[in-house]
Structure 1
């Protein structure tokens, strides 16, 4: 008996390239760890900035008021303040 089928051979269903759960968790944990390390560095440098006198601040181009504002920012507030966002364009 000859069975004729019109069905095409089925191809294996493939999923788009996605990382495994283990890879995703590892990457997420690594990103979180790096973010915490960066925040610790921000805290350390802002404390150093707060401890500088007016002469030292003038050497790096900051006023005491600017230093006070920067030092009082939250640790997770790591983006440039809107007040100085345009200053990045001045660098060569």
Structure 2
């Protein structure tokens, strides 16, 4: 292994959480449009958090608006985490 070390992915500031239940069953229960979006997402989303946002925005009635909101949240999280990786590259 190179000089990066095994813990390079542990520098993220995004909170880690344990999930209860079967993640695949929760994923399979999601609406098909939301599953399609999750399949192409950059970050690993929990089915519960994705569904919460989907429902709040009214994804069944307006999937386009729900996609926009999910994309905005994901971009915000990527920008938040980018500062960690920029610091890691400078080290």
User: Taking CA–CA contacts closer than 8 Å with sequence separation of 6 or more, which of the two structures ends up with the larger relative contact order?
Assistant: 2
**Structure 1 and Structure 2 fold alike (TM over 0.5):** no
TM-score, normalised by the number of residues in structure 2 = 0.30
TM-score, normalised by the number of residues in structure 1 = 0.29
The structure with the largest alpha-carbon Rg is: 1
